[in-house]
Structure 1
């Protein structure tokens, strides 16, 4: 049974923001988690990616923080009261934007801090005072050490995509950050998957939590059509273009496993005439945000990315996801294909399987608990579009735009080469074949003289020490002094 947001009795300012965003009915995770968070209980929430976890923790937090709302300009009246920690910069920026939309009709302040950007603008925002702070662990520790923010009045902590934070080694940073917070607080942990490590983390920092799990752990959305095609590495690019053409796909994520492979594939697809952008960890933060914004605005058709974009990014109406490389971690497959088919919409997930991917596919089958069918696909011969030509600048242009070529002048006949001068007679000595001189078995004269002086009666089995010619003469003995 679906529930509407009107049943939550949200504050008028929050209800107005929800209506502005077009939300009417709650998703299952929202319907179960929001009432529990409103009561102040610690919550562990597990749900498929793209089911509205951000609103599940943002709306009840803002509802409970409204009692601290004030119009004062003093930073002391706006201490950090809610802390939201996320693993990646893109996800932190996205969640911060969502929280600002929910709180736009209130006087609660919020900001986001993450790495890859200058700390000075972030420091100025923190000095003004904010009630809700969204951050990545590394940059938050930088601000704590610089004494730019104080966390001794935090009432709510949210660990979003906590399994990803543990995967990339944020556990020591999380432990340091949580040590700065008051013991009496409400802690919320939301993730698409629950691993044994996550449960140990929850047992350490959550107090008697309520588990809200609206889907089987590590399950994929039923609205996503999944296909696994057996494709050689050299044919992957051609099969990708073929599926885009056959399905008439306007936009898609293309996931690869390495940053170098991401950059190379993006350049190759761009040369093929596809509007492509790359997103990986070696890009600057400004370049990553621009690539994401261009993809959201529809100015980019293909976003080639590593797993830095696999978690939590909410881009509506993306029709397809391609796993150009099978992910090394089976759980990342769930997150990758979660970029399509969001909020109940239909989507397509295509994975290319080569001969070396048998073990990785087996890990995905074990995770999903079902046998995957590897389909065969025939790569059709691609033809140049009629009436179009490639001008060498990575774009296709119409034949009408081709400039007429000037007729070539006929080549002049080459003159016949002059006869070569006769070769000068060679020295007959150099034309003779090489003849090696017979090696002489006779020992050198100086060694024969020494042998003749050998004492008689010496056993023939005893060989005398081989003598070597000296390079320098021995010095003459000094004359004896007459005494």
Structure 2
């Protein structure tokens, strides 16, 4: 079994890894660390939750000279949350090496960041817009930068940060090292790599298995009008300690949160447009277990690492298989078990089939009935017959002593009431289950 020591990782970093209960490198770490330590450019593709952050952070820290009080490494991330997450990791491991790490993130007070720059950080973690602003204002000097890493590189360019990112590349030395990391690597990213990298080493880990093998995939089919109630029932039945619920339309988040809170669920939104402090507070409450559900869009939750998150729920199906990979990658990380549940309408069945085909996974159809989860793939679909409740003796006696005269009118009313009750109880049941319970 390969160890970090076998990969020529500095003993101080090995000790810190051991403190964090990380004993052996993951596949992406085993493949990327030696190559990055040699100073080569790298394009690394690996599914989410496999330890990509440490795969580039360890060699970056090890190549920095602590005695040289100048910026030597730069890590770029597409969102504020991901950048802060990386900064916490970098600062944690950097302290063991005597390396000063600083964050430069849009949305935060630039005055405070300028003050910290006077401490001469050797590694900066930031978002492209704020980093480029500081470079153009001559507050950040790139002439000693040896390595630039772009994390979640595919999303970086999709969010329109390609221009800022390439402008940052231009300010660095020609012989600097470039590292690209992501779970997916579309053609446009490879075009950028061809333009800026020198004979990059491509690392692909389990490219045919794009989602973690520790994730179970399920979906529940329902009508659009019943999606809120279906979500409520999923949470009540599975009782996840915490879960991220993904929606596509940011304009509807406030409405969904209000409805879910009205139903008694503990939920808060993660808005991409909210200020940095508000988003940080929501994430803190979610991590601390004060909130059960985090309602978010793809952009807001991009790259979030919530330790041992048990469940991800797609309230709205993602727009592509790539988005599905990134969403479900929030759970089942680093060998832990996870569950991905999607809520789909009958018209969206083809999307589920497309994900199965493109990702090489099997999203199992499920249904809820009588307080239980049933697999729709099972040939034997057990349906519990209602058991008549025992009638109290005195009630029976009174009923027996009081004859009832059934007229045509009250027979009709009785039947219609029974029919209404049955329709109400079966409203949320799938069609095949309704057919099972219909009298012949």
Q: TM-score range by the shorter chain?
A: 0.7 to 0.9
Q: 1:359 to 1:229 in 2, by over 3 A?
A: same
Q: Residues 82-481 of structure 1 correspond to what in structure 2 (within 5 A)?
A: 82-216=73-207, 219-358=210-349, 360-361=351-352, 363-369=354-360, 372=363, 374-378=365-369
3-state DSSP of counterpart to 2:5: helix
Q: Distance in 2 between matches of 1:106 and 1:373?
A: 47
Partner of 1:43: 42
Partner of 2:25: 26
Structure 1 residue 324: deviation in Å? 0.2
Q: 1:61 to 1:231 in 2, by over 3 A?
A: same
Q: Distance in 2 between matches of 1:335 and 1:148?
A: 34
TM-score (norm 1): 0.73
Q: 1:299 to 1:372 in 2, by over 3 A?
A: closer
TM-score (norm 2): 0.80
Partner of 1:395: none
Structure 1 residue 356: deviation in Å? 4.6
Structure 1 residue 112: deviation in Å? 0.9
Partner of 1:69: 66
Q: Distance in 2 between matches of 1:312 and 1:51?
A: 12
Q: Distance in 2 between matches of 1:181 and 1:248?
A: 50
Q: Distance in 2 between matches of 1:152 and 1:220?
A: 39
3-state DSSP of counterpart to 1:7: coil
Q: 1:246 to 1:114 in 2, by over 3 A?
A: same
Structure 1 residue 197: deviation in Å? 0.9
CA deviations 1:240-278 (Å, max 9, x no partner) are: 222222222221110001222222212222222222111
- Structure scoring higher RCO (CA < 8 A, sep ≥ 6) equals 2
3-state DSSP of counterpart to 2:313: strand
Q: Which moved more, 1:349-358 or 1:33-42?
A: 349-358
Partner of 1:390: none
Q: Distance in 1 between matches of 2:301 and 2:347?
A: 23
CA deviations 1:284-304 (Å, max 9, x no partner) are: 111111111111111111111
What do you get for the CA RMSD once the two structures are aligned? 1.9
Number of equivalent positions: 372
3-state DSSP of counterpart to 2:160: coil
Structure 1 residue 15: deviation in Å? 2.1
**Does residue 50 of structure 2 align to residue 59 of structure 1?**
no
Structure 1 residue 372: deviation in Å? 5.0
3-state DSSP of counterpart to 1:189: strand
Q: 1:60 to 1:22 in 2, by over 3 A?
A: same
Structure 1 residue 378: deviation in Å? 4.4
Unaligned segments of structure 2, at least 5 residues? 373-440
Q: Which moved more, 1:144-153 or 1:182-191?
A: 144-153
Q: Distance in 1 between matches of 2:336 and 2:18?
A: 20
Q: Which moved more, 1:173-182 or 1:214-223?
A: 214-223
Structure 1 residue 215: deviation in Å? 1.2
Q: Distance in 2 between matches of 1:153 and 1:133?
A: 13
Q: Distance in 1 between matches of 2:9 and 2:360?
A: 40
Q: Which moved more, 1:136-145 or 1:297-306?
A: 136-145
Assess if the C-alpha contact under 8 Å between 2:217 and 2:362 holds in 1: no
Structure 1 residue 106: deviation in Å? 2.2
Q: Distance in 2 between matches of 1:37 and 1:329?
A: 31
More helix by share: 2
Partner of 2:396: none
3-state DSSP of counterpart to 2:193: helix
Q: Distance in 2 between matches of 1:374 and 1:260?
A: 29
Unaligned segments of structure 1, at least 5 residues? 71-76, 382-483
Partner of 2:72: 81
CA deviations 1:414-473 (Å, max 9, x no partner) are: xxxxxxxxxxxxxxxxxxxxxxxxxxxxxxxxxxxxxxxxxxxxxxxxxxxxxxxxxxxx
CA deviations 1:189-232 (Å, max 9, x no partner) are: 11101111111111111111111111116711111110121111
Structure 1 residue 364: deviation in Å? 2.6
3-state DSSP of counterpart to 2:95: coil
Structure whose CA Rg is larger: 1
3-state DSSP of counterpart to 1:133: strand
Q: Distance in 1 between matches of 2:176 and 2:152?
A: 20
Q: 1:201 to 1:363 in 2, by over 3 A?
A: farther
